[in-house]
Each structure stands twice: as C-alpha cells, then as structure tokens.
Amino acid sequence: MAMRTVRTDKEIKKSFAKKGVFPFKWSFTLLFPLRNIFLSVNNLIERLDIKENYNVLEVGPGPGYFSIPVARKLKTGKLILADIQPEMLEYAKKRFSKKKTGNVAYYLCNGKTFDFSDNSFDVIYMVAVLGEVEDKEAYIREFSRMLKKGGIVSVSELAGDPDKMSIEELKDFFEKHDFSFDAQYGNKRNFTLNFKKKNGKQDS
C-alpha cells in the first residue's frame, strides 16, 4: 500500500509538470481559491478594462474560474468561452447554470480557426493558455481577424506553468504580427500583457 501511494504521488506531480493541454481530470484544481495568490479575479477584470457592452472571447477557460465574474461585468455584452476540450466546456456550462449567469455562449475549438465573423470582439483574453497552443501563428491570425480595430488581446502567465511564455517572448511574438504592446501588469513570475490591434477595419 505504501509503495502504491508513493507511486501515485509521483504520477500526480508528473501530470502537473507535463507540458501541453491541461488534462480535464485535474480541472477541479483550477477552481482552488489559492489561484488568487497568482492572479485574482478582480485584478484580471481591472487589467482587461471591460466595458458593460463589450463582446469578449475567453480562450481556454477550463472550468470557468475567471469566466463567471467577467460575464457579470457584461451587462449588455456577451462572453464566449472557447476551448478544445468539450469536457471543460460542459464543466463551465454547469457552473454557469448553477450561478444563474446568462449572456454566455460556448464554442468548441479545432486548434486552428474560429467560426466567428471579422471584427466580432472588443477583448480576447487567455490565462496560462497561449503556451499550450500548438499552432500559435494560426491563433494570432485569427485574433487579428476577429478583433475590432483597437481591440485588445490580453495574455496572463502564471508561475509554475510548464508552458509559460516569458514577457520577452510574448512581446516579440505579438509585435511581429498586427499588434502593438499596450500595457504590462504584475511581475516576471505572474503577469498580464495587453496587446492592441493596429490595423483592419472596424464594424460600422
């Protein structure tokens, strides 16, 4: 029994340290209040500077730790949750239902493209997600297409994430594309970077 317990502990540690998409079986850990040490919901909302009429896309919401408070800020706007794991979307959907929070929709990603119109969103945000994306080039092209002119892509990275991208890597990546650096919050271990779309036509 003791040997089996030790082996299981090692397996757990290995699962959390492994790069790639966060496994659904550990999704409950993403709801621990301890996450506030790295990034609180209130801090994220302040950094996103969300207005009540915004249309917002959250990529990789997991079970929706940040999603419900963000949706509640959108009085006349809407939040779309996009994830490549259908189980994560179902988990988030159940949590939204229990909290009786509306103005939200769910979208299953294919890892390449998004089935949304050009100039659809005011803000696109990710928390500890972009490093897991296999085809980042495809995603950033889609972000540029889907964002309104002057819209924001917000990327938050947290300490301990094996896929974490550095501040320098993120700035270099976004500035090579259709974005300019807009704002930085936090420190090198736990931070949020906002990038603003430079070009493209906005809705009339």
The CATH number of the domain where 126 resides is what? 3.40.50.150
The answer as to whether 20 is a domain residue is no
Query: Are 128 and 156 spatial neighbours (Cβ–Cβ below 8 Å)?
Result: yes
Q: Model-level pTM?
A: 0.82
The answer as to whether 13 is a domain residue is no
The answer as to whether 26 is a domain residue is no
| Number of Cβ within a 10 Å radius of residue 147 | 26
The answer as to whether 55 is a domain residue is yes
Alpha-carbon distance of 132 to 68, in angstroms, equals 23
Report the pLDDT value the prediction gives residue 139, as an integer from 0 to 100: 95
- Roughly what angle, to the nearest 10 degrees, separates helices 136-146 and 167-175? 60
Query: Are 163 and 126 spatial neighbours (Cβ–Cβ below 8 Å)?
Result: no
Nearest to 95 by CA among 73, 126, 64: 64
Report the pLDDT value the prediction gives residue 163, as an integer from 0 to 100: 87
What letter does residue 29 receive in the DSSP assignment? G
| Tally of domains in the chain | 1
Q: What is the largest CA-CA distance in the chain?
A: 67
Domain that holds residue 121: 33-197
Q: Give SS3 for 10.
A: helix
The answer as to whether 67 is a domain residue is yes
Report the pLDDT value the prediction gives residue 88, as an integer from 0 to 100: 87
pLDDT mean for each 10 residues of the chain (204 residues): 36 40 52 70 94 96 90 95 92 88 91 95 96 92 95 94 92 94 96 88 42
The answer as to whether 109 is a domain residue is yes
Query: Are 54 and 70 spatial neighbours (Cβ–Cβ below 8 Å)?
Result: no
Report the pLDDT value the prediction gives residue 161, as an integer from 0 to 100: 83
The answer as to whether 47 is a domain residue is yes
- Give the residue carrying structure tokens 């959108």: 74
The answer as to whether 7 is a domain residue is no
Alpha-carbon distance of 31 to 172, in angstroms, equals 31
Report the pLDDT value the prediction gives residue 15, as an integer from 0 to 100: 36
